[in-house]
Amino acid sequence: MHCSLFEPHESRNVTYQDAINFLFPLHRFGMKPGLERITSLLNAVGNPQKRLGKVVHIAGTNGKGTVAYAVASIFSSAGFTTALYTSPHLVSFTERICVNGCRIPEPQVAAYCDVLKEEVADRKATFFEVTTAMACMYFAEMQAEVSVIETGMGGRLDATNVVDPDYVIIPSIGKDHTAWLGDTVEKIAAEKAAIIKKGSRVYTAVKDPAALKPIISRAAAVGATLHVLQDFPEPVVHSAAVGELVFSLKARGADFRKLKSGVTGDFHASNLALAVLAAHDAGIEERSIRKGLLSMRDFGYRARLERLSGKPDLLLDVAHNPDGMEKSVNTLLRFSHAYRNVLVVLGLVRDKDVAEVVRCLKKLTKTVITVNLLSERGLPASELGGMCRNEGFHAIVAETASEALDIVKRTADKDDLVLVTGSFYLAGEVLKLMKR
């Protein structure tokens, strides 16, 4: 993709590596829910969050990344200057902040860090807060006509909740980040529904009445228009293979037949349907919707049951909680009969429902290679391996992702399926190792 859209500002004081060295230690402040610090940061740089064009704000337990990439790709295909803010990144920090599929230039990251560093130090802002401020600065400077913003965690106190959205999309509600968001789907849904603002159009695929209730209540309370996917004819899936989904969707005044996208898994039909409905309501023509769904990879959509190599087939996935893992496993069960064996390379962080994620894999395989993650939050491979053995798996412990891939090379047959899953950290490591 041609990315010479913008001549970045140069910082005489800070290099890109300086910026990364400044940003990443901010993780030490952890997650500090609240909008005071991000509001103060943005105020210090002229409140760029008020100059983002039309805003699409997306929250949800699973599927929000897929929805974000689909929406951004569709609006860009329609000719709009379209910004996209997602997290976390896989390989490069610059993946998080894109305009028309082009990542923020490294010198621009350095320049923004130079501008923000004193404010950040004064307020002890977190990594995600600073990154969110940088995204708003860049999108405003690029004169984005549409800004697609994915929440980091939750919604109500998430740093992205400084935007005033025209469209809100909530694809799913499940149990994740329960220590922060609450221990029931109703509490979690209320946190995520808090991104709904007055006048916004809201789209959700949530079905569970307990999770849907807070979304309905919030929309009514603030005067937002709510569209619940289950009130429409269910999307019809015609075919679902690795790297291809074909589905049809009927919407108000439109009949989208055999829409195609390069995603894996029929469960994505509901995610993509939300993107299509929002785009249709925004007046986007069908040809741009079709082109956008086919072009998600150009925007950086990766590691969602993505095939990296063949013989053996190696699929990369970022499912990291029980709901996401169950969807991925059920998808692969439809294809698994074509393989001799299934081998899973697994790395997880501590703050997930690890036992339930491991149990989800029992339907798919008996062999797991556990891996240490390059993250302080990572669960040690030896501990994860022990948990897998307790569940009846044959578990092999690998110190690193590189060692795990070496084990795969030695043991996997060309007719096997290898699934690398459990974490964005692991997916990023594997992409680096395979230079993909």
Q: Is the pLDDT of residue 29 over 70?
A: no
**For the chain, first and last CA: distance in Å?**
16
Q: Where are the domains of the chain?
A: 16-299, 306-433
210: phi then psi, degrees, rounded to nearest 5: -65, -35
* Gyration radius from the chain CA atoms: 21
CA distance 127 to 25: 8
pLDDT, mean over the chain: 93
Q: How confident is the model at residue 176 (pLDDT cuts 50, 70, 90)?
A: low
- Percent of the chain with pLDDT strictly greater than 90: 86
For the ranges 25-29, 261-265, 292-296, the lowest mean pLDDT is seen at 25-29
CA distance 56 to 281: 13
3-state helix, strand, coil in the chain (%, to 5): 45, 20, 35
Residue 372 is which amino acid?
Answer: N
Query: How does DSSP classify residue 62?
Result: S
Please state, as a whole number, how many other Cβ atoms lie within 10 Å of the Cβ of residue 143. Answer: 12
pLDDT score for 174: 81
- Of residues 346, 345, 339, 314, the one with CA closest to residue 407: 345
Give mean pLDDT, residues 126-142.
98
Q: Is the pLDDT of residue 132 over 80?
A: yes
CA distance readout (Å), 269 to 167, 242, 258, 317: 19, 14, 11, 18
| Tens digit of each residue's pLDDT (9 = 90 or more) over 204-240 | 999 999 999 999 999 999 999 999 999 999 999 999 9
Q: Which tokens go with 80?
A: 């709009």
301: phi then psi, degrees, rounded to nearest 5: -70, 115
pLDDT score for 377: 87
Give mean pLDDT, residues 5-33.
78
Task: Specify whether the CB–CB gap between 412 and 312 falls below 8 A.
Answer: yes
Q: Is the pLDDT of residue 370 over 60?
A: yes
| Tens digit of each residue's pLDDT (9 = 90 or more) over 155-173 | 899 999 999 999 999 999 9
Q: How confident is the model at residue 5 (pLDDT cuts 50, 70, 90)?
A: very low
Q: Is the pLDDT of residue 11 over 80?
A: no
pLDDT score for 175: 62
Residue 318 is which amino acid?
Answer: V
Bridge partners of residue 226, in order along the sequence = 202
Task: Specify whether the CB–CB gap between 316 and 420 falls below 8 A.
Answer: yes
CA distance 179 to 170: 20
pLDDT score for 182: 54
pLDDT score for 179: 52
Q: How confident is the model at residue 310 (pLDDT cuts 50, 70, 90)?
A: confident
Q: Residues 6 or more apart from 194 whose CB is under 8 A from it? A: 155, 156, 161, 218
Q: How confident is the model at residue 253 (pLDDT cuts 50, 70, 90)?
A: confident
Q: Is the pLDDT of residue 389 over 60?
A: yes
pLDDT score for 340: 92
Q: Is the pLDDT of residue 321 over 60?
A: yes
* CA atoms within a 13 Å half-sphere pointing along the CA-CB vector of 223: 2
pLDDT score for 428: 97
pLDDT score for 146: 99
CA distance readout (Å), 118 to 126, 130, 255, 376, 381: 13, 12, 53, 26, 39
| Tens digit of each residue's pLDDT (9 = 90 or more) over 403-430 | 999 999 999 999 999 999 999 999 999 9
158: phi then psi, degrees, rounded to nearest 5: -75, 145
Q: Is the pLDDT of residue 187 over 60?
A: yes
Strand, helix or coil for residue 119: helix
pLDDT score for 171: 97
pLDDT score for 6: 52
- Strand 82-85 to strand 97-99: parallel, antiparallel, or no bridges (unpaired)? antiparallel
**DSSP alpha helices (H): ranges in 24-63?**
36-44
pLDDT score for 338: 87
pLDDT score for 336: 86
CATH class of the domain comprising 306-433: alpha beta
Nearest 10 degrees: CA dihedral of 75, 76, 78, 80? 90
Q: Is the pLDDT of residue 337 over 80?
A: yes
Give mean pLDDT, residues 91-115.
97
pLDDT score for 30: 63
Peptide bond into 209 cis (omega under 30): no
| Tens digit of each residue's pLDDT (9 = 90 or more) over 188-208 | 999 999 999 999 999 999 999
> What's the pTM?
0.94
Q: Which residue has the higher pLDDT, 284 or 4?
A: 284
CA distance readout (Å), 196 to 221, 233, 368: 10, 24, 41
For 16-299, the fitting CATH number among 3.90.1150.10, 3.40.50.620, 3.40.1190.10, 3.40.50.12640 is 3.40.1190.10
CA distance 186 to 208: 9
Q: Which residue has the higher pLDDT, 175 or 419?
A: 419
- Of residues 151, 187, 153, the one with CA closest to residue 56: 151
Q: Is the pLDDT of residue 397 over 90?
A: yes
